[in-house]
């Protein structure tokens, strides 16, 4: 690596509530200056990363970017591959993934070294995406199971007005329209129809 090369560190935490101190401390221990450490606090789903974009605009051929792990680069397999290609192939910078020594493009710049790094990248980014899919699936299964047990999510519905049952019966009997029933209950028609449907299911 040439002496003129700049060393950057990129940190991403998955939400504004998470703390980046551990990643930041690692970057400082590597001797990276504060003005070359970029931090984004967004979820993997929200990939509008302003600090990452600023860093990419500064990077030149021969510069080095440190990442704690490969999933800092993207939210899925395609994103990680694309960012890796932009940084290493288009710009000509080096990437060092701290928790995976095989992903260090400063070493093994021959054909075999490049092949191994690219192969490991493909495997790890594929695994990272699959892990996220598994987590999302488990979350969905957990929510479905909780709903079956009667757990309520979101805001609790408003109490029905005292005359709702009367209006519901009149509407179901065809005596009054849904619009008239909704007006009597001081509701929007769509709200009345929705609550009437739920009322029927709960009865």
Q: What is the pLDDT along the chain (203 residues), one digit of tens a residue?
A: 445 789 999 998 876 546 688 889 999 999 999 999 999 987 545 567 899 999 999 999 999 999 998 888 887 777 888 898 899 889 989 999 998 887 888 876 555 656 666 777 677 667 767 777 777 788 887 777 777 777 666 666 678 888 998 999 899 888 899 999 999 999 999 889 888 888 776 65
Active-site pick, 14, 15, 177, 190: 14
Helix spans in 31-110 (H): 50-58, 77-84
Q: What size, in residues, is the chain?
A: 203
Q: Are 179 and 191 in contact (CB under 8 A)?
A: no
Q: Are 71 and 47 in contact (CB under 8 A)?
A: no
3-state class (DSSP) for residue 154: coil
Active-site residue flag, 4: no
């Amino acid at each position: 690596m040439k002496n003129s090369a700049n060393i950057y560190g990129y940190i991403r935490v998955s939400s504004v509530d998470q703390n980046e101190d551990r990643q930041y401390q690692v970057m400082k221990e590597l001797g990276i200056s504060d003005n070359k450490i970029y931090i984004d606090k967004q979820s993997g789903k929200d990939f509008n990363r302003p600090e990452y974009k600023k860093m990419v605009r500064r990077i030149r051929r021969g510069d080095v970017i440190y990442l704690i792990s490969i999933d800092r680069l993207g939210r899925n397999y395609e994103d990680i591959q694309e960012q890796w290609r932009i940084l290493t192939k288009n710009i000509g910078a080096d990437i060092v993934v701290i928790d995976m020594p095989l992903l260090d493009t400063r070493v093994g710049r021959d054909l075999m070294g490049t092949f191994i790094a690219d192969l490991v990248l493909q495997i790890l980014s594929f695994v990272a995406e699959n892990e996220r899919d598994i987590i999302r699936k488990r979350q969905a299964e957990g929510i479905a199971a909780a709903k079956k047990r009667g757990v309520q999510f979101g805001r609790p519905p408003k109490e029905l007005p005292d005359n709702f049952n009367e209006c519901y019966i009149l509407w179901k009997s065809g005596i009054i329209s849904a619009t008239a029933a909704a007006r009597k209950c001081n509701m929007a028609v769509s709200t009345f129809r929705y609550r009437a449907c739920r009322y029927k299911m709960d009865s």
